[in-house]
Amino acid sequence: MLIDVAIITNTHSINSDLWECHFGQLQKYIPKLSYAFSNVKIPDDKVSTFIYNDEDKFRTQYMSGLRTIKEKYCLYLNEDYLLYEEPNISKLEEYISILEKVPDLSFIRLAKGIDHFHIPLTSTLNYLDCRNPYFFSQTASLWNTSHLLAIHERGPDLHIAGEDMSQQFEVAATDVCRSLGIQGSYHYAGEQKRGEHHYDSNVFPYVASALVKGKWNIKEYEGELSSLQQMYDLDFSQRGVYE
């Protein structure tokens, strides 16, 4: 199952209340060792934790973790990406084989965004135009690990977020991708739009994202989060709900 694919979750102890649900759902549907990049050890023997320096910026933290990964491919996740249904493992394996057969292809994003062009690669994959302002995106994606590492090694040392978008690694990394000639694609099989910025994914059905500004994203995922709340006894009152 997903041979030579590292499942990597970027996280921080400030969001530790999501860990049981996030890793529990992963283990339920993809029962293999997963990896976490965190400032503290994840208390789960099915998760291998790389503990980064909490004083470093995101780019250095993530780069340091990636250098420990031996698998040729990886699945990029954040801790508030919560699986709510079983992923299509055979389709994910098909996508890994495409990354293997098309060495110039660096990543496959597992859901469509709002500003993507329709340039078919397969019946469920489309090329992502590098002119897209959000060509590099910290969304659930399959990556060639060495290509993802190269972006972090070449990119500026920035945090993951901030009020000034020019100082966010996710934004700055798009120019790095262009300079490296990174090519990408995205999955779309007619799924419905969710919220303002993205579509659902039938290959990797996940809440994207469960948190908005630190609060639960009930606005977009009320049904899915309510079900997960019952399974994992999530305390919505602790964080509050994003309006």
Domain with residue 13: its CATH number is 3.90.550
Which residues of the chain are modeled with pLDDT < 50?
Answer: none
Distance CA(81)–CA(113), nearest Å, equals 16
Reported as a single tens digit per residue, the pLDDT across 175-230 is 999 999 999 999 999 999 998 889 999 999 999 999 999 999 999 999 999 999 99
Smallest CA-to-CA distance from 187 within 134, 90, 138, 120 is with: 120
> Strand, helix or coil at 68?
coil
Which residues span the domain enclosing 101? 5-239
- Chain centroid to CA 134: how far? 14
The radius of gyration of the chain's CA atoms, rounded to the nearest angstrom, is: 17
Q: Tokens standing for 216? A: 């639960």
Cis peptide before 179 (omega within 30 of 0): no
Q: What is the pLDDT of residue 162?
A: 60
Smallest CA-to-CA distance from 184 within 62, 69, 102 is with: 102
Q: What is the pLDDT of residue 15?
A: 97
Q: Tokens standing for 137? A: 């995106």
Q: What is the pLDDT of residue 133?
A: 80
Q: What is the pLDDT of residue 115?
A: 67
Number of domains into which the chain is organized = 1
